[in-house]
Structure 1
Amino acid sequence: MTKAPADFAARIDALFQDFTGPGSPGAVVAVTENGREIFANAYGLANINNAVPMGRKTIIRIGSQTKQFTVLLILMLEAEGKLSLSDEVQKHLSYVPQLEQPVTLAQLASNTSGFRDHLEAMIFAGLSIFTPSDRQTGRDVIARQDALNFKPGSAMTYCNAGFFMLSEIIEQIEGATFNDVLRKRITGPLGMDDTSLLIRDGAAMNRLAAHYTKREEGWANLNWGLDLGGEGGMISTLDDMIVWQQNLFDPKVGTPDMYERMATPCVFDNGATGFYGLGLVTDVYRGRRAVGHGGTVAGGKSESTRFVDDGFGVVIIANNDQVASFALGRRIADIYFGDTQPAPIALAPGRYRQEGGPDVFEIVARDGVATFLNAGGVGGFDFGHQGGAKPERAITDLVLSPRADGKVDGVFCGTPRLYAPLQAGAAAARPLAGRYVNKAQDLEVEISGDASKGEFRLRSGLGAMAAPIVAADADLWFLLQPGTDMRPGLPWNATLAVTADGFEMNSDRIKKLAFKQA
């Protein structure tokens, strides 16, 4: 007997009503209970030009959900004695630099390696994500990394480079393409015939959806130029992803031990438990364990979550980047379990800076409720999270709670932080004007302007980038949007923290990128 309320279907349909109008892309959704489908629907169009409706068999990009397949393949190779997750990366990939601390394959798979994200690094080197680039470009960017974001195992920052490297190791050991290994070991045996790796956007394929973004003039096709692999290049259908989700908990491919390891959260050096395992996100929502992964890719969003102790699963795949798939998965769970939203925590609007550090976030009031914004994106809060308000997006290990003195207490990866309000209209202690270099990564920057604002111009062997900068504090600047490559709609993409001999750039996935005055 289902636990779902009588109006379950109608209330889910209401969540997706913005994607049912004429000329709108959409999404496909399924809900399962103990492996049995209790709801499914398709909304909007797979292709606006030809008015092709979305359906269960529509093939759509699933983005970073690819990572769980990559990790399963790695675990299969480990079970056959072909590698160990305790191996250092350089044992398998000679082009990866040996930096401050050794990094293991397990740390790549848990986002705790400290490696900088190579996709973000490409963009900050002036290479547009829409410009064609190949896998060798990715290798070159990784090979030029000159420092880690943090000591491996001490924190978690989302890193596509880790899964890029894991997929390279799979291909090297197997002597075959990632797609061929995937088909042989996972999708073929499971009958997931519409699931594969689509390396590059723009391919022609029967039932493949077009992928869209929203611009002022309306919907527009969005295609990246880079080659995608085990970090986020897979496509699938609603039917296939239901099969995959069920296999995670009743394995026909892989073993229960493999999936238990994937779903076991990482433990940081400080003893705190994170929420990312090995290619799977494990969190507690409203007191219930939730295991799964989401994905964001050019013109696409996805989410697959199962509440493991309750036998309740949600799959969402969208062919546009406006569907808040992670939050919508939780709203569907709220409807099913009959949970109500907890009272909002009173976080005062404004920008806050980490005391003694460069991390900045902003609280924006929307309809009187606090919303979180930083260089990684914008979204609501889970006000029912243990310890305070947690940004309601899959990959943010930060919990906030207000203090009486106007500051905000934070816990990042188990480590306490204190954030203080930034004053609007701040001026820097001095202009940042001058020429700067990072020789290891072939980066040159020229900055002009005064103590309140300026222009940032970067050149490298990969390209060029120009963007405004504005003062955020006496020793901190905001690097504003250089265009549409990063995360459109955000007020800044990175901070520039002044040092004795230059500055350090910090973005959502790149930390301590040092530039010295030339």
Structure 2
Amino acid sequence: MITWPRVACSAMSSTESIKRTLESVPSKFRGPGGAVAVVKDGELAGQHVWGYANLDTRIPITPTTIFPICSISKQMVCLVLTDLLQSDKDKAFEDALHKALHELLPEDMMANKDFTIERMVAMQSGLRDYWALTVLWGATPGGRFSIYQDAPKALKRLGGFHFAPGTEMSYCNSNFMVLSLAIEKATGQTLGDLLDSRLFIPAKMTTAALRPDTERLPAPLVGYEGSDENGYVAYQNRIEWAGDAGIQASLEDMVAYEKYIDHSSSESHSAYQKNSQEPHYLDGSPANYGFGLARIEADGMTVVGHGGALAGFRLHRWYAADKRVSVVALLNSDMDSAEVASYVLRNVAELHAKEQQEDSPNETKVEWTGYYLDEEANLAISVAHGGPGELLIYYAGEEDKVKITDSAKASSKGIKVSYEDGKLSIHRLQEGRKFAAKPLAPPEAPSDGNDSLYTGAYRSEEINSIFHCTGSGDMLYGAFDGYLGKGPAHLMKHIGKDVWWLSCQRSLDAPAPGNWTVVFHRGEDGKTIRGATVSCWLARNVQYVKKE
């Protein structure tokens, strides 16, 4: 879920105050290094770089240091896609694109009339995310993944839709990976060449390029994991990305991009003008994501942008069209780049973060904390008390903080939660998802001779994966085999009768899926386990059958 961080600031707008804001970033957001810039009214209003591209060699970051911009790539690929479609007067490209998609994806997916290109670029396709599924295909942290060897195999193993296309939104890199491959097939050109001719050259992004292999970052940049408290360690990525995240660019390139976007946003027939329009779901209700752009209403203005993440890197860009202000933040660490970008944007746009002041701390507590199960998605939910008057909801791979409003309700800008008649109801506004969840029955203690009830090997035909469950009692481990190899063992936690969490905090890519929910299914006798459903937010309802 893409959120707008709450970072306090003061109002500033002059060139000198922008300079002071940018120069304050390193002290407020400590890390190895980074680069930030502001484009206002179509011109560079200020930029600042600090720290080191490589701590060991003490080579500093400069405005020309090349960063992997990761998922910010998506909107750039969408500009090329829309440009190709708009210039396709005889629909030859569109027809070739659909033919290529038929070649890359299972036929039953393409047969669904609601599975369209616009649903794909809006993250409404219902496809499972292939990066999450690499865990179930046996990938190991730091392992290799090839676009032209491994990606086509991944697309044939996605299984069915995990929600009906057009009904809700779930972030999914599969959409952009398959579109990138299809664009290349349809045009007979590489995506890199298309980006050069249709975006980078017109936008004067002189060093930007599609460089899919993350193991070969242009020197001297190094990505770091860690913190002030634990120190920083260089991380070596070894994966390849296509149009889902494969572009690399310098701060100077991103400034040129923001100038290009500011100019394009006022052109009625530009690709960006089309792509930045508010998207909708099938039922006509507004959505907040389309064509690689997330839309967020924050402090009285609409901001459009995107973040990017890779182990050792965090990047973000926001654009407020009404105020003609862009902010770019590029970091070679795992620090929250959205907080950096929003801090700068609020100052430049002369906005004040609204502070919630109360006469006394809210000490409200609820009696319905615990574990629940979304039976449609087979995802477990944890509800726990946080700070005063606050609940922590774990569901979509991360903890969401919501404020308690009364004994049966809690909410935030992105989530509404209520409890009635023994059921938990959740509405995730940004993803358009509503569901009710039942509390999980407590885990059963192992009985005599039944200590290994869940252990064994399970097979998923739909995604071609083997799940190995080992251990005993409440200390189980889960591991997966697939076409990418034999993956590591993950610790499992018993949270309810026949329901476990499988922890995956480190995977082929960062950030990892987090906790997978494993729901074991019993046979007719009620005593033996016949199968399991494995789900995470990005890849739900993968069915496994226990081997005899």
| Residue 32 to residue 17, structure 1, CA distance change in 2 (3 Å) | same
Q: Given that residues 427 and 473 in structure 1 are in contact (C-alpha distance below 8 angstroms), is that contact kept between their aligned partners in structure 2? A: no
Aligned pair partner of 1:233 in 222, 243, 246: 246
Q: Are 1:250 and 2:224 an aligned pair?
A: no
Q: Are 1:96 and 2:119 an aligned pair?
A: no
Give the aligned partner of residue 4 of structure 2: none
After TM superposition, give the deviation of residue 200 of structure 1 in Å: 1.0
Q: Given that residues 132 and 226 in structure 1 are in contact (C-alpha distance below 8 angstroms), is that contact kept between their aligned partners in structure 2? A: yes
| Residue 220 to residue 381, structure 1, CA distance change in 2 (3 Å) | farther
What CA deviation, in whole Å up to 9, does each residue of 1:452-485 have, x standing for no partner? 3412132223212221212222242101137454
Give the aligned partner of residue 399 of structure 1: 415
After TM superposition, give the deviation of residue 8 of structure 1 in Å: 5.7
Q: Are 1:341 and 2:355 an aligned pair?
A: yes
- Structure 1 CA distance for aligned equivalents of residues 370 and 99 of structure 2: 41
Q: Are 1:480 and 2:500 an aligned pair?
A: no
What CA deviation, in whole Å up to 9, does each residue of 1:396-427 have, x standing for no partner? xx523455999764213334334566688786
Which region of structure 1 is more displaced relative to structure 2, 328-337 or 249-258? 249-258
Which region of structure 1 is more displaced relative to structure 2, 293-302 or 241-250? 241-250
Give the aligned partner of residue 309 of structure 1: 322
2:544 partner amino acid:
F
2:81 partner amino acid:
I
| Residue 428 to residue 407, structure 1, CA distance change in 2 (3 Å) | farther
Give the aligned partner of residue 379 of structure 2: 359
- TM-score of the superposition, structure 1-length normalised? 0.85
Q: Which one has the largest radius of gyration? A: 2
Q: Given that residues 164 and 229 in structure 1 are in contact (C-alpha distance below 8 angstroms), is that contact kept between their aligned partners in structure 2? A: yes
2:120 partner amino acid:
L
Q: Given that residues 114 and 150 in structure 1 are in contact (C-alpha distance below 8 angstroms), is that contact kept between their aligned partners in structure 2? A: yes
After TM superposition, give the deviation of residue 167 of structure 1 in Å: 1.0
Give the aligned partner of residue 416 of structure 1: 434
After TM superposition, give the deviation of residue 191 of structure 1 in Å: 1.4
Unaligned runs of 5+ in 1: 391-397
Which region of structure 1 is more displaced relative to structure 2, 162-171 or 423-432? 423-432
After TM superposition, give the deviation of residue 34 of structure 1 in Å: 2.3
Give the aligned partner of residue 509 of structure 1: 538
| Residue 427 to residue 327, structure 1, CA distance change in 2 (3 Å) | farther
Q: Given that residues 505 and 512 in structure 1 are in contact (C-alpha distance below 8 angstroms), is that contact kept between their aligned partners in structure 2? A: yes
Q: Are 1:69 and 2:76 an aligned pair?
A: yes
Give the aligned partner of residue 180 of structure 2: 167
Unaligned runs of 5+ in 2: 1-10, 405-409, 523-529
Give the aligned partner of residue 389 of structure 1: 412
Which region of structure 1 is more displaced relative to structure 2, 120-129 or 411-420? 411-420
- Structure 2 CA distance for aligned equivalents of residues 160 and 256 of structure 1: 28
- TM-score of the superposition, structure 2-length normalised? 0.80
| Residue 343 to residue 26, structure 1, CA distance change in 2 (3 Å) | farther
Aligned pair partner of 1:439 in 438, 461, 476: 461
After TM superposition, give the deviation of residue 447 of structure 1 in Å: 1.7
| Residue 132 to residue 513, structure 1, CA distance change in 2 (3 Å) | same
- Structure 1 CA distance for aligned equivalents of residues 273 and 336 of structure 2: 28
Give the aligned partner of residue 109 of structure 1: 121
After TM superposition, give the deviation of residue 450 of structure 1 in Å: 4.9
| Residue 280 to residue 444, structure 1, CA distance change in 2 (3 Å) | same
- Structure 2 CA distance for aligned equivalents of residues 198 and 347 of structure 1: 51
In structure 2, the residue corresponding to 1:338 is in which secondary structure? coil
After TM superposition, give the deviation of residue 332 of structure 1 in Å: 2.9
After TM superposition, give the deviation of residue 314 of structure 1 in Å: 1.3
After TM superposition, give the deviation of residue 78 of structure 1 in Å: 0.8
1:472 partner amino acid:
I
- Structure 1 CA distance for aligned equivalents of residues 34 and 403 of structure 2: 23
Which region of structure 1 is more displaced relative to structure 2, 87-96 or 324-333? 87-96
1:51 partner amino acid:
R
Give the aligned partner of residue 517 of structure 2: 495
Give the aligned partner of residue 137 of structure 2: 125
In structure 1, the residue corresponding to 2:479 is in which secondary structure? strand
1:400 partner amino acid:
K
After TM superposition, give the deviation of residue 233 of structure 1 in Å: 0.9
- Structure 1 CA distance for aligned equivalents of residues 340 and 206 of structure 2: 27
Aligned pair partner of 1:328 in 314, 317, 340: 340
| Residue 83 to residue 272, structure 1, CA distance change in 2 (3 Å) | farther
| Residue 293 to residue 187, structure 1, CA distance change in 2 (3 Å) | same
Q: Are 1:34 and 2:41 an aligned pair?
A: yes
Aligned pair partner of 2:482 in 452, 455, 460: 460
- Structure 2 CA distance for aligned equivalents of residues 236 and 381 of structure 1: 37
Instruction: State the percentage of identical aligned residues.
Output: 20
- Structure 2 CA distance for aligned equivalents of residues 406 and 326 of structure 1: 37
In structure 1, the residue corresponding to 2:329 is in which secondary structure? strand
After TM superposition, give the deviation of residue 174 of structure 1 in Å: 2.6
- Structure 2 CA distance for aligned equivalents of residues 118 and 305 of structure 1: 27
Q: Given that residues 353 and 421 in structure 1 are in contact (C-alpha distance below 8 angstroms), is that contact kept between their aligned partners in structure 2? A: yes
1:70 partner amino acid:
V
Q: Given that residues 18 and 45 in structure 2 are in contact (C-alpha distance below 8 angstroms), is that contact kept between their aligned partners in structure 1? A: no
Q: Given that residues 428 and 476 in structure 1 are in contact (C-alpha distance below 8 angstroms), is that contact kept between their aligned partners in structure 2? A: no
After TM superposition, give the deviation of residue 311 of structure 1 in Å: 2.0
Q: Given that residues 504 and 515 in structure 2 are in contact (C-alpha distance below 8 angstroms), is that contact kept between their aligned partners in structure 1? A: yes
Which region of structure 1 is more displaced relative to structure 2, 37-46 or 227-236? 37-46
After TM superposition, give the deviation of residue 187 of structure 1 in Å: 0.4
- Structure 1 CA distance for aligned equivalents of residues 338 and 446 of structure 2: 38
After TM superposition, give the deviation of residue 514 of structure 1 in Å: 0.7
With CA pairs under 8 Å and 6+ residues apart, which has the higher RCO, 1 or 2? 2
- Structure 2 CA distance for aligned equivalents of residues 399 and 107 of structure 1: 23
After TM superposition, give the deviation of residue 496 of structure 1 in Å: 1.1
| Residue 516 to residue 339, structure 1, CA distance change in 2 (3 Å) | same
| Residue 493 to residue 487, structure 1, CA distance change in 2 (3 Å) | farther
| Residue 487 to residue 428, structure 1, CA distance change in 2 (3 Å) | farther
After TM superposition, give the deviation of residue 9 of structure 1 in Å: 4.9
Q: Given that residues 374 and 380 in structure 2 are in contact (C-alpha distance below 8 angstroms), is that contact kept between their aligned partners in structure 1? A: no
- Structure 2 CA distance for aligned equivalents of residues 333 and 407 of structure 1: 40
What CA deviation, in whole Å up to 9, does each residue of 1:110-161 have, x standing for no partner? 1111111112111221112522231120110111222111111111111111
In structure 2, the residue corresponding to 1:99 is in which secondary structure? helix
In structure 2, the residue corresponding to 1:200 is in which secondary structure? coil
After TM superposition, give the deviation of residue 318 of structure 1 in Å: 1.0
Aligned pair partner of 1:469 in 492, 496, 518: 492
Give the aligned partner of residue 214 of structure 1: 226
Give the aligned partner of residue 397 of structure 2: 376
